[in-house]
């Protein structure tokens, strides 16, 4: 099975779900190119390996190379959900001590905040968590708040939001009405419980369709009322 890679953002961390073969040739080249494109924008990467069916020596070498590149970029690489054969290969080659691996995505994401591997030195601070199903809305709000001087992380679903709330403890949650109304599952209950301990701002109905300047100005005013003015006018990582 040829390799396919799906990407999603969890805060500043990119989770890549790999399905198929990581092997010499096109499969390895595809993964290498995708990671190389990500590193300038966010060097913290989790590879979900649950559906990797084959790993050859070239693919293993690529993982080591990607780890080194991530660390040089100020971030790192985590593996998670290793199939038994992949885990066995890492132990046989003694690379299990070099390539950090975790049982679940949540464990791997949490590890970035705990700095449990040498070489990963940059903090991932954020005062604000924004949750919305629209990646376009998240992109706009992230840039808007960072340009204003706030630290912000984003999540497109409440599963990822709960992970970020547990490991980063922001001071404010911004979420759409649909997200705040979710209930009926353990994840929804956990999100509501964690968010209730913080300041919560509900995005205005029609936020995504309003004039961007006006909508952004109103949101910044509401954020400032909860958190106060930012420490700096423009964050260097905006």
Q: Residue 9: beta bridge partners?
A: 14
Strands (E), the chain: 4-10, 13-22, 44-55, 76-80, 101-102, 128-131, 152-155, 172-175, 199-202
Instruction: Supply 98's token pair.
Output: 């070099």
Cα separation, 79 vs 101, whole angstroms: 4
| Over residues 13-28, mean pLDDT | 87
- State the pLDDT confidence band at 207, using cuts at 50, 70 and 90: confident
Identify the weakest region by mean pLDDT among 22-31, 94-103, 197-206.
22-31
- State the pLDDT confidence band at 1, using cuts at 50, 70 and 90: confident
Phi/psi class of residue 23: alpha, beta or left (left: φ > 0; alpha: ψ in -120 to 50)?
Answer: beta
| Over residues 178-197, mean pLDDT | 90
- State the pLDDT confidence band at 233, using cuts at 50, 70 and 90: very low
CATH 3.40.30.10 fits 4-114, yes or no: no
pLDDT computed for residue 124 by the predictor: 58
Cα separation, 161 vs 175, whole angstroms: 10
Model confidence pLDDT, tens digit, residues 30-66:
888 888 888 888 889 999 999 999 998 888 888 988 9
Percentage with pLDDT > 90 across the chain: 37
Q: 117 vs 201, which has greater pLDDT?
A: 201
CATH level 2 (architecture), domain 128-227:
3-Layer(aba) Sandwich (3.40)
Write down the pTM of the prediction: 0.76
Domain regions of the chain by residue span: 4-114, 128-227
Instruction: Supply 152's token pair.
Output: 């912000």
End-to-end CA distance of the chain: 39
Using the predicted structure, report yes or no on whether residue 211 has a pLDDT greater than 90: no
Domains 4-114 and 128-227 share a fold: no
| Over residues 70-89, mean pLDDT | 92
pLDDT computed for residue 232 by the predictor: 55
């Amino acid at each position: 099975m040829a390799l396919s890679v799906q990407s999603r953002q969890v805060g500043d961390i990119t989770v890549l779900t790999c399905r198929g073969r990581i092997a010499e040739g096109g499969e390895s080249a595809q993964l290498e190119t995708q990671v190389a494109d990500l590193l300038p924008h966010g060097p913290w990467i989790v590879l979900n390996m649950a559906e990797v069916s084959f790993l050859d020596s070239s693919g293993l070498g690529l993982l080591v190379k990607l780890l080194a590149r991530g660390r040089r970029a100020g971030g790192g690489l985590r593996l998670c959900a290793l199939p038994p054969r992949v885990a066995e290969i890492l132990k046989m080659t003694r690379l299990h001590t070099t390539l950090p691996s975790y049982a679940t995505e949540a464990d791997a994401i949490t590890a970035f905040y705990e700095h449990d591997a040498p070489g990963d030195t940059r903090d991932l601070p954020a005062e604000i968590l924004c949750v919305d199903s629209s990646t376009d809305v998240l992109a706009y709000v992230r840039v808007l708040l960072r340009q204003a001087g706030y630290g912000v992380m984003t999540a497109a679903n409440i599963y990822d939001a709960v992970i970020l709330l547990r490991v980063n403890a922001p001071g404010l949650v911004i979420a759409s009405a649909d997200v705040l109304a979710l209930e009926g599952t353990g994840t929804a209950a956990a999100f509501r419980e964690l968010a209730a301990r913080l300041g919560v701002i509900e995005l205005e109905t029609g936020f995504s369709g309003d004039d961007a300047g006006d909508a952004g100005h109103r949101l910044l005013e509401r954020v400032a009322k909860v958190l106060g003015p930012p420490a700096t006018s423009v964050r260097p990582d905006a």
